[in-house]
Structure 1
């Protein structure tokens, strides 16, 4: 059997891949009068408008888009949320997310195996800094990359190209690890390798190229990656 060649760096999506969004979903659901059925609509709308801003050559912080789209989804369902309250809900809940239980053991194993680790997120620099401090993840990463610095959200190809350049690595030597089908699809289309973490409720996009790896959690993925030469 051929030995798998190691990527020169592993790039980790943050929200949902590393951080457990359960508490955030509870806060958003409460703001939406307990309508848990609206949570996926809100997240999809937030992603939609992040793409709209980039396609229109604009940029707003992901958290601000999250607050704005929370107001939109609420209004469409007869619920009123003030702008200041929407921002407070999103910012407070984003900063208080714990890491999934499999995250620290996986990151520790990968660092011990000599991998270079980078976080790569749609969140703003300030937000991801606060998130990692709260979840105690900062020390695991060699680099923390926010799309704020390029002003274009994932999954635009230019954003993956920028991240590879920041790490001084060719696209084919990068591997994205993410729990979102749209993110791994964007990475593969940009010439990266990719691994999909099948967190509950997440699916790969059937029309995208296959990811190199698909695992149910990060520890199982790390156990495979440490065998790469």
Structure 2
């Protein structure tokens, strides 16, 4: 069955989650932060994800903005920078304006030119996703932006992946699901989507029951995979 619908995770897949910390580190007066920013960015992302999983399995859902703040607070405290309220505010502000990876606009244009459906399916809250999409100028290249807030649980719960078929009326076999998170690609593969894992950091494949169908280093190959 041909691919009709291309679904993308947002954070780390279309949007560079390290951009907020990298930009802040380059600003005047941030020398203390600049010495720590790579580790803070890494821990911020890790804690953000860990909190989504823990909240999902304990049935204590909150929106992604809360876990984003919680993850940042843990990461700043781990580096002894939690007393810098101005830094915290700046990092959170920048998270609403994350940069898209350089290849994203052209990749999405190629999919749309081929007549394929395109959408985001993300743990992000609707307002966060709206801010990121507008900041990156991707609104005209996406048919829908789907948030887990509509179902009240984070990925990889199967009810989240159900949102794609409910939205587009397509079979699972018609969907190419793209994520930079190995666990998300595995979850989507187990669900029945064709999956592409964007493994920018050359990490090992996660030891999970399902594996991604394709492993890429960036998003430039997605139109070819989708048959565009």
TM interval, shorter chain, is 0.7 to 0.9
- Say if 2:198 and 2:219, in contact at 8 Å, map to a contact too: yes
- Note closer, same or farther for the CA distance 1:196–1:32 as it changes in structure 2 (3 Å cut): farther
Assess, with a 3 A threshold, how the Cα gap between structure 1 residues 150 and 208 changes in structure 2: closer, same or farther.
Answer: same
Structure 1 equivalent of residue 177 of structure 2: 176
1:67 aligns with 2:69: yes
Alpha-carbon distance between aligned partners in 2 of 1:174 and 1:154, rounded to the nearest angstrom = 17
- Do the aligned partners of 1:28 and 1:39 also contact (CA within 8 Å) in 2? no
Is the contact between residue 189 and residue 210 of structure 2 (CA under 8 Å) also seen in structure 1?
yes
Tell me if 1:10 matches 2:11: no
Other-structure match for 1:55? 57
Separation in 1, partners of 2:170, 2:3: 10
Q: Aligned in 2, Cα 1:224/1:175: closer, same or farther, shift over 3 Å?
A: closer
CA offsets per residue over residues 119-163 of structure 1, 9 Å max, x none? Answer: 111111011111111100011111110111111111122211233
Cα pair 1:180 1:202 within 8 Å, conserved = no
Aligned mates of 2:53, 2:187 — CA distance in 1: 12
Deviation at 1:73, TM superposition (A): 2.9
In the other structure, the counterpart of 1:42 is: 44
Q: Distance in 2 between matches of 1:115 and 1:39?
A: 34
Kept in 1, the 8 Å contact 2:17–2:98? The answer is yes
1:81 shift after superposition: 4.1
**Is residue 63–residue 91 contact of structure 1 (8 Å, CA) maintained in 2?**
no
SS at match of 2:220: helix
Counting matched residue pairs gives 222
TM-score scaled to structure 1, two decimals? 0.85
Partner of 1:112: 113
Mapped to 2, the partners of 1:164 and 1:132 lie a distance apart of: 22
Q: Equivalent residue of 1:219, what SS?
A: coil
Q: Do 1:71 and 1:81's aligned partners in 2 also have CA atoms closer than 8 Å?
A: no
Matches within 5 A, 1:52-201: 52-81=54-83, 86=88, 88-200=89-201
In 1, the alpha carbon distance for the partners of 2:212 and 2:202 equals: 18
> Superposition RMSD on alpha carbons, in Å?
2.5
Conserved? CA contact 1:32–1:74, under 8 Å: no
